[in-house]
Amino acid sequence: MSDSARAAEGIEDPRGSFEAVLRRYLEAAAADKAFQWAMLGSDSVDWAEIRAEKDEFAAVASRVIERAVRAGAVRADLTYADFPVMTCGVMSTMYFRPSGNGDWERHLLLLLEGV
């Protein structure tokens, strides 16, 4: 995820960079039901083993979000703390409505229109 976020960080347009981080994260999750379940709150996940990776991703995604905020490309009150809220919302659509008809992508589009 961090490699994908760093690649998205290189996108010149701040809004495009933010959208790329969010979309690539969710695209990776779309094919991984275990990851979706873990992110949706499974109590069996031991996050300590991947703390460094999580911190690295958070640092890159935070920079992307902060740049988008400074540019006025997203809501002024958007922070990295909102990222898990947004992704878990869309992942719940993936997990509980796995119809393959693009429900999660529609959910993402509606979310992006709101930020």
Q: Domain segments of the chain: what residues?
A: 2-114
Cα end-to-end span (Å), the chain: 22
Is pLDDT larger for residue 64 or for residue 1?
Answer: 64
pTM of structure: 0.88
Residues 71, 90: contact at Cβ < 8 Å?
A: no
CA distance 86 to 7: 20
Query: What is the CA angle 39-15-10, rounded to 5?
Result: 85
Give yes or no for residue 66 having a pLDDT over 70.
yes
Mean pLDDT of 19-41: 89
Comparing CA positions, the residue from 2, 114, 112 lying closest to residue 56 is 2
Average pLDDT over residues 46-59: 84
Q: What is the pLDDT of residues 85-111, one digit of tens each?
A: 999 999 999 888 766 667 899 999 999
Confidence category of residue 47, pLDDT binned at 50, 70, 90 = low
Residue 91, token pair as written in the block? 């992942």
**pLDDT surpassing 70 at residue 74:** yes
Nearest to 115 by CA among 63, 72, 84: 72
